[in-house]
Structure 1
Amino acid sequence: MAKDRATIVAGIILVIAGMQVFIIQPGFIAILHSVLRLTDAWAGYVASAEMFGLAASTIFVALLGRRLPWRTAVGVAAAVLAGANLASTLAPSPTAFLLTRAAAGLGAGVLVSVGYSMLGQVRHPDRAFGYGIMALLSYGAAGIYLLPGLRDMIGLTGILFLLAALAVLPVLLLPFLPVGSAASVPDSDDDRHAGDNRFAANMALVAVTLFFLGQGVVWAYLSLIGTAAGIAEQDVASGLALSQVSGILGALGMAWLSGRVPQRALLLGGTVASVVPLLAMMGHPGALRYGLSVIVFNGAANLMTPLLMALAAVAGKGNAAVIQRAAALQMIGLAVGPILSAPLAQYSGFTPVMMLAALLFACVYPITQWRRHRRGTPLA
């Protein structure tokens, strides 16, 4: 039990350091929009570049599997992330800034993948992921709320220096990390699983892909959706900060409800609560409707995140390879999403962006209930 707690704490710190920009992305993109004078499309491309870096490095970790030495990888990744944050302060053009953010993503993805692998290997992965997302969102809530004030006090350069300092934190954990996944996982492989188990793991990975693709489509634009509707910038920031609090409650709820409420009910409720707020934000919502919508949306999204990651971990029978693939697919979805939504936002506004995200979310629950032939059972 004590070993599990230490693994959970270390895994959470790695995930927070790796997701340091993504979790505050709406506020961060709004600052880039105002400070660097980026267009809506360019803001989306910058967000996507960082997520592509994240995706590339999580894919790399998944391909290497047990051959990756975790301590070395975390040390190098932390250095790359910190260096890229510092380099971003010197970027002379939007293109150069985009490239430095892509480099930051490369370092961040390794930290996230190793952190997720650690959380997925403990005795109760659903609770571990729930606590991890709760801690991540606590950082996100504070970050999004403070960003407008930090921009005025220390500017974009100062914010990037703070992010560089956070990126160095995982180096302090190196003596406490396992050498690699082989040191903490049983000797198993996907190929040894029966066909039904492999099918369940694949369906879980499809559900993860669809959900995070939907997240990528809409997440970076949540702040701009509010300001485009004429809502004051600080009201938008306050609504997003409160939505992070609801996200904390959603993740905490996942940790508490695990084993008490059927997963099928949690998946159905989370899917519905992800779709409805996006429909409610269409048109010209006032500050109240916008605030309530993002609060419900983020609460549902952060109940679904640990639920789907744990679903993949359980379907993969604790195999680190399945967890790493889920992490890679999460980042791929988050990276591809802004590329899909950027041209929609530029040429058609934000309503098609929200419609696309709602459609992707709506597909998640049916995928988890897909049975394999007549003998199969749904994931939950």
Structure 2
Amino acid sequence: MKQHTVQSSSSVTAGVLVSVIAMAGFLILPLFVGAVAQRFALTESQIGFLATFIMGGSALSSVAAIFWIRKVNWQWSALLALGAMLCGNVLSLWVTSFPAFVVLQCLVGVGGGAAYSIALTVLSDHPQADRCFGFSVAAQVSFQIVGLLGLPVVVAQYGLEAVLGLLIGLEVVALVLLWWLPASGLVMPTSVEKKRVVSSAVLFALLGCFMFFFNVGVVWTYIERMGADSGFSPAVIGESLAVGVAFGVPGALLASWCGERYGRLLPLAVGALIMVGALLMLVGRIDEKSYLLALALYNFSWNFSLAYQYAAVNAADDSGRSVAAAPAFHALGAAVGPGVAALFVSADNFFAVNVLAIAGVTLSLLLFVFAAIKHPNRKTVAA
């Protein structure tokens, strides 16, 4: 069993804020990708592969985190991670070659994945980890709302530099915040440390994270293009994205309020059902109201489910290390999804986006069920 210690509110707050900043580029991915596509004149397939490479760096560093996350000083590690993000984005302001830009953003992803893993592990050590994950998700959604509402006008005037400038500013703030993070986490009993790192239950849960973000990566990369294909103006698309993302806040806060009282499988099943319904609304030619409603339902279920995914991974692993790998599997899914979709989409046919996303959601839920069977507990079995 984990031996929890009560963390200070400042360390939890710092963990939540660093988790937002580490994921900032992905949180505003539609606008970021749009700005990059405009600068480098990318095709639909190139947009998908761009998202794959951006998330690939994050995936690699997050996978590696499971081996070092409990062995290093978190403050100094976060300093290195945030430094990599800052250097990558600053240099991205000056490059004129698209391949060079992709390499630099992969470096940003490496730093972001490491910083996010540290932040999540800080939150996982809290006695009420489920609620802390909910606060983290709510903070991420709040940032999305502000970014998607405020950035379109700025990006239209200043282009990609506006997005990069925002990310650079946030990373400077994070360099200050990281000193409120604890230097290390819980000390695990020797018996737990000697256990294998990845059990079958943990593996199923992590694969569930992978498939869920396979779906998210596909949808989040092409959702702006889907709106444009339906004839919506950039203003309508931007406002719909912002309003839709706003519904993620009550989703995340609801997850935080519910905590473990309904187990984890039942909330995950409800979230999957709502998400599939939202994806079905995006099939074929869509009108503005359907687009807005689908975005609202999708983001509500996305952020409601996300906190329970972290909690499910955390519950399946007595060592407390595997939750650091959850961002890796999220990033891997988000990287692979757009790459697969890029093989099928065209400028006027996004049906593959819906098919791949629905398959990802369904398989994700099944994998979390398998994880619960392999690592049962009272609340999960009851759910």
> TM-score under structure 1 normalisation?
0.91
Contact 1:61 1:68 in 2 (8 A): no
User: Is residue 13 from structure 1 mapped to residue 17 from structure 2 by the alignment?
Assistant: yes
User: By how many angstroms is 1:260 displaced?
Assistant: 3.7
Matched residue SS, 2:344:
helix
Gaps of 5+ in 1: none
CA contact (8 A) 2:204 2:371 kept: no
- 1:334 alignment partner in structure 2: 334
How many Å apart are 1:34 and its aligned residue?
Answer: 2.8
Matched residue SS, 2:358: helix
Letter in 2 for 1:140: Q
Determine which of 105, 109, 121 is the counterpart of 1:105.
109
Alignment match, 1:224: 225
1:121, distance to aligned residue in structure 2 (A) = 1.3
Q: Give, as a single letter, the amino acid of the residue that structure 2 aligns with 1:355.
A: V
Give the corresponding residue for 1:83: 87
Is this contact kept in 2: 1:271–1:361, CA < 8 A? Answer: yes
Identify the residue that residue 359 of structure 1 maps to in structure 2. 359
Distance 1:263 1:167, change over 3 A: same
Change (3 A) 1:26 1:299: same
Match of 2:120 among 116, 123, 127: 116
Give distance in 2, aligned partners of 1:214 and 1:190.
34
Residue in structure 1 matched with residue 280 of structure 2 by the alignment: 279
Deviation at residue 215 of structure 1 after TM alignment: 1.3
Name the counterpart of 1:269: 270
Query: Counterpart of 1:283 in 2: which secondary structure?
Result: coil
Structure-1 separation of matches of 2:290 and 2:359: 21
Q: Deviations over 1:346-375 (max 9, x none)?
A: 388311121111111012222222378899
326-335 or 169-178, which deviates more = 169-178
What whole-Å deviation, never above 9, does each CA across 1:58-104 have from its counterpart, x for those lacking one? Answer: 12222223233212211111111111111111121221221111111
How far is the alpha carbon of 1:255 from its aligned partner?
0.5
8 Å Cα contact 1:58/1:113 also seen in 2? yes
How many angstroms apart in 2 are the aligned matches of 1:46 and 1:375? 37
5 Å-filtered alignment, 1:43-82, equals 43-82=47-86
- Render the CA deviation track for 1:226-279: whole Å, top value 9, x for unaligned: 111111111111111011110111001100122443433211110111111111
Change (3 A) 1:9 1:336: same
Identity between Structure 1 and Structure 2 (%)? 25
Note if contact 1:121-1:185 (Cα within 8 Å) is conserved in structure 2.
no
Contact residue 229 and residue 284 of structure 1 kept, 8 A: yes
Instruction: Report the equivalent of 1:350.
Output: 350
For 2:100, the aligned partner's letter is A
Instruction: Note if 1:324 corresponds to 2:324.
Output: yes
User: Contact 1:218–1:341 (CA<8 Å) still a contact in 2?
Assistant: no
CA distance in 2, matches of 1:166, 1:375: 39
Distance in 1 (CA, whole Å) between partners of 2:120 and 2:375 is 31
Counterpart of 2:160? 156
Unmatched 5+ residue regions in structure 2?
A: none
Instruction: Supply the distance in 1 between the matched residues of 2:35 and 2:292 (Cα, whole angstroms).
Output: 20
Query: Separation in 1 of the partners of 2:374 and 2:88?
Result: 51
CA distance, structure 2, for counterparts of residue 375 and residue 170 of structure 1: 36
CA pair 3-98 structure 1, distance change in 2 beyond 3 A = same
Please give the alpha-carbon distance, in whole angstroms, between the structure 2 residues aligned to 1:175 and 1:372.
Answer: 37
SS in 2 for 1:256: helix
Query: Normalised by the size of structure 2, how large is the TM-score?
Result: 0.91
**Does the CA-based 8 Å contact 2:32-2:160 persist in structure 1?**
no
2 CA distance for matches of 1:25 and 1:186? 37
Q: What amino acid is aligned across from residue 249 of structure 1 in structure 2?
A: P
**Residue from 145, 155, 170 that aligns with 2:149:** 145
Q: Which residue of 2 aligns with 1:186?
A: 188
- Tell me the distance in 2 between the aligned counterparts of 1:376 and 1:194: 18
Structure 2 counterpart SS, 1:265: helix
Which residue does the alignment assign to 1:242? 243
Task: Give the whole-Å Cα distance in 2 for the aligned partners of 1:359 and 1:132.
Answer: 27
| Equivalent residue letter for 1:186 | M
Compute the displacement of 1:2 (Å).
Answer: 7.0
Contact 1:199/1:372 (<8 A) preserved = no
CA 1:374 to 1:335, structure 2 compared with 1: closer, same or farther past 3 Å? closer
Query: Contact 1:4–1:122 at 8 Å: present in 2 too?
Result: no
Matching residue of 1:210: 211
CA RMSD between the two structures: 2.5
Q: Rate the CA distance shift 1:269–1:166 in 2: closer, same or farther, 3 A.
A: same
